Amino acid sequence: MPQKPIELILMRQLSACLATPIFLVDAEGTMIFYNEPAEQVLGMRFEETGEMPADEWATRWTPTADDGTPLPADALPLMIAVAQRRPAHGTLRIHGSDGARRRIEIVAVPLVRPRAHVVGAAAIFWETA
């Protein structure tokens, strides 16, 4: 298995030390890590999921708009950050693996190398009322 880009390795290390939920994907949108605070919101430990392709994680927590309309993967802030190489923000509802419905606010930023080569994206999110 090839080694991950250094930017993803460093972001994973940083996110493991933060008290804010963080979700990390690679350039293909594969979820490669989420930290312990994110586990509380998602209702499942990262060790239980491991890495997960975009089509799986984008539906696992059933993301919807506030009105209950399902959100396609390409409308999620993380996927926008990867595909469009720009920060993205959104508010959505998820169904945690623990059965709880949660409203979360997300800010996703692309992780880039020099010359704008995207290696992935990080989403910082929190639960809202």
Strand order in the sheet with 101-113: 31-34, 22-26, 117-128, 101-113, 88-95
Is the full-model pTM beyond 0.85?
A: yes
Looking at residue 114, its pLDDT comes to: 81
State which residues form the domain around 71: 6-128
Residue 1 belongs to some domain of the structure: no
Looking at residue 1, its pLDDT comes to: 61
H/E element holding 48?
helix 46-49
Q: What's the structural domain count of the chain?
A: 1
CATH number at residue 57: 3.30.450.20
Residue 75 belongs to some domain of the structure: yes
b or e along 100-129 (b: 16 or more beta carbons within 10 Å of the residue's beta carbon)? eebebebebbbbeeeeeebbbbbbbbeeee
Q: What is the mean pLDDT of each run of 10 residues along the chain (129 residues)?
A: 88 97 96 97 95 92 94 94 96 93 97 88 95
